[in-house]
Structure 1
Amino acid sequence: MALWRMRTLRRNGLRRRTDVIRAWAGIVLLLVVPAVAPVAALLAGDAAMRHYEDTARHQRETRYQATATLTRDAPRHPEPGSEEEKETRYPVEVRFTTREGRTRTTRAEVRPGLPAGSKIRIWVGADGEATGPPMSREQIRSRGMGWGLLAAIGVALGGAAAHAATVLALHRRNLAAWDAAWAETAPRWTTPT
């Protein structure tokens, strides 16, 4: 494809101006997209990391751990002792005491098979409901990298869309030129003699 573009840039009796524009647009995009994509990835990843670090800081300030007691038995897993059981959690009603000394009831995710009365540690949010722990460094890094990757992909897709739009516009221009040329030539071909 690059060789075709280079041949398009050489002098040629059939070369149109739109062919040259299309070739240069492709070359420019081929140079710009790989240069801009890493910069966009770094900027987006850094912005996302700062956002998620602020979110994690807020979570650490507003969440705390409390000891909760199961009010009923947690369901048993259909396959006791399996690897799946180790990962599975069931929502069960638990009772705990807030920092202010009030007794609250909420639902928390617990391991299968825990009997009523079992003590577990839960994270409690500012609203007094059970919630997850604050984001970890790995979660922050993973989300930042994800946004960086999306930014790089967005630049590549934007470059592809810009190229497609350029090609489409040039193709329409060629068709319009061909229509105009045919409108000028057609009477000579279709006039009865």
Structure 2
Amino acid sequence: MVTLRRLRRNPLCRRSDLVRAWAGLCLLSAALAATPAAMVLVGDAAHRHYARAARHQAATRHQTTAVLLEDARDHPEPGSAEPRKTRYPAEVRFTDPLGRTRTATADVQPALAKGSAVRVWAGTDGTIRDPPMSPREVHSRAMGSAVIAALGVHAAAAAAYGATCLVIRRRNLAAWDTAWARTAPRWTTSP
């Protein structure tokens, strides 16, 4: 609203005030116009990137059965719903894709006894990995990237407006200094 008020004719309005108002209006319009394009471009690029990463993960990881070498930690609140989601690190033994027996630390459900079988994802190098990204995770990460792109466009517009205002303010201060340098001798000299 303040920006639009500055665009009206006013005898006290300086040229720099009009420049500042028009710069704000133009940058706002540019940011609003560029936001959808930035979201689509960045979201599409991110989706392709994460889909490619998910395909690579699916090709280089496989699910296998592992055996616990120790008892898994018990959850501190046994009656709550949280133990269904919580996982604790425990030593497991599994067979890698090349048929070698390996031991590693994997996140398992609480309170599992030693010797229990658990499903883990193993990489081609024989290490325990996270499962490959699901299509939902790919979509979620792409949408997050698109939102960050939109915020970036608006942050860039705000930074450009801030820089414009700073330049205008410095020019105004320099003009005031020059005007005061001409006026000050008449006010500060003794008769």
TM-score relative to the length of structure 1: 0.93
Instruction: Name the CA shift for 1:110/1:53 in 2 (closer, same or farther; >3 Å).
Output: same
1:84-103 aligned at under 5 Å gives the runs: 84-103=82-101
Q: State the 1:89 CA deviation.
A: 0.7
Q: CA separation in 2, counterparts of 1:21 and 1:78?
A: 64
Q: Is the 8 A contact 2:97 2:124 kept in 1?
A: no
Given candidates 12, 15, 22, the residue that maps to 1:14 is: 12
Q: Which amino acid aligns with 2:89?
A: P
Q: State the 1:3 CA deviation.
A: 3.5
* Structure 2 gap ranges (5+): none
Identity of aligned residues (%): 56
Match of 1:64 in 2: 62
Match of 1:44 in 2: 42
Q: CA separation in 1, counterparts of 2:159 and 2:145?
A: 20
Q: CA separation in 1, counterparts of 2:187 and 2:64?
A: 91
Match of 1:135 in 2: 133
Q: Is the 8 A contact 2:70 2:114 kept in 1?
A: yes
Q: CA separation in 2, counterparts of 1:164 and 1:145?
A: 29
Is 1:163 equivalent to 2:161 in the alignment? yes
Deviates more, 1:167-176 or 1:74-83: 74-83
Q: CA separation in 2, counterparts of 1:170 and 1:13?
A: 19
Q: CA separation in 2, counterparts of 1:2 and 1:22?
A: 8
Q: Which amino acid aligns with 1:157?
A: A
Q: CA separation in 1, counterparts of 2:79 and 2:109?
A: 12
Match of 1:79 in 2: 77
Q: Which amino acid aligns with 1:114?
A: L
Match of 2:176 in 1: 178
Cα RMSD after superposing both structures: 1.3
Q: State the 1:132 CA deviation.
A: 0.9
Paired residue total: 190
1:16-35 aligned at under 5 Å gives the runs: 16-35=14-33
Provide Cα deviations, 1:54-91, integer angstroms capped at 9, x if missing partner: 11111011001111111111111122232111111111
Q: CA separation in 1, counterparts of 2:170 and 2:97?
A: 70
